[in-house]
Amino acid sequence: MSTHFDHKGKIFTDVISKQQVAVIVQTTQQRIAGILHMQPDRRLKDELNARQGFLALTDVRVLNLEGAPEFESEFLAVNREHILWVIPENKLIIEMED
């Protein structure tokens, strides 16, 4: 790994640090739970608005529209055009039964 500094002392390396965010992605045909790897200074909205055609997820569980498991995978690239919504898993609100 190489490291260099600019004239102000900022450090540059070949390694890009990422934060892992557990997300749920709803597409037209499935619900996908997985890990999105984002740069620490970006918001989820920034990641979704990126120009790449696919959203890369790891440690993926795919459910059909009825909630039945379809498959699991270490990696899945989701076409952004098929995404209806995305929510961080830790932001889910679970309804409590009375």
Q: How does pLDDT run across 33-87, given as a tens digit for each residue?
A: 999 998 888 888 888 888 889 999 999 999 998 989 999 999 999 999 999 999 9
Q: What ranges do the domains of the chain cover?
A: 17-90
* Residue 21 pLDDT greater than 70, yes or no: yes
pLDDT, residue 14, reads 63
* Residue 29 pLDDT greater than 90, yes or no: yes
Q: Which helix (H) or strand (E) holds 87?
A: strand 83-88
Q: Give CA–CA dist 32/5, Å, rounded.
A: 41
pLDDT, residue 12, reads 67
Taking residues 3-17, report their average pLDDT.
69
Q: Which helix (H) or strand (E) holds 77?
A: strand 69-79
Torsion angles phi and psi, residue 35, rounded to 5: -110, 125
CATH number, domain 17-90? 2.30.30.100
